[in-house]
Amino acid sequence: MLVDDYLFRLERAGRPLGLGPAEEHEVEDKRGSGMAAEAALLTKVVPQGAAVCVLDERGKVLSSPDFAQAIAGWRDAGRQDAAFVIGGADGLDPGLRARADLVLGFGAMVWPHMLVRVMLAEQLYRAVTILSGSPYHRV
């Protein structure tokens, strides 16, 4: 799976920078109770004290270097974990969105859930390469 490839690369390249490893957690609201129930499930898998970034089509669109700087800022502020949250088809609960450290968008278009995972994993790996000075990202 492409997500696994980027997360593996992230772990290898990020270790010297104090970044990674990355884990993927999926939650499912089997009862179909709505966004609030999904938010409760998502909140349970977010590590205590983690920087929270939610993905939303109305979110802030960042360049790759700016995204890398956001991650470095969390790390440098002593945040040991970062959680990147992708909501279901109906979007994210407004309460979860409101408490996020960053609301990130990949443009105005709506993307399929699995494609967003790949795009996020690649951008996380790209952020690590930017922070390490690797030529993977050419500015």
Structure confidence at residue 87 (pLDDT): 83
Q: Which two tokens stand for residue 54?
A: 């939610």
Q: How many structural domains comprise the chain?
A: 1
In a domain, 28, yes or no: no
**Which pLDDT does position 139 carry in this prediction?**
53
Cα(125)–Cα(4) distance, integer angstroms: 11
What phi, psi does 85 have (nearest 5°)?
-110, 125
- Tell me what the mean pLDDT of segment 89-97 comes to: 89
Q: What is the pLDDT of residues 35-64, one digit of tens each?
A: 888 899 999 999 999 999 999 989 999 999
Domain that includes residue 60, residue range:
2-18+35-132
pLDDT for res 138: 73
For position 72, what pLDDT does the model report? 97
Residue 120 counted as domain residue: yes
Asked whether residue 94 carries a pLDDT value surpassing 80, the answer given is: yes
- Residue 99 sits in a domain of what CATH number? 3.40.1280.10
138 inside domain: no
* Beta strands 51-60 and 82-86, pairing class: parallel
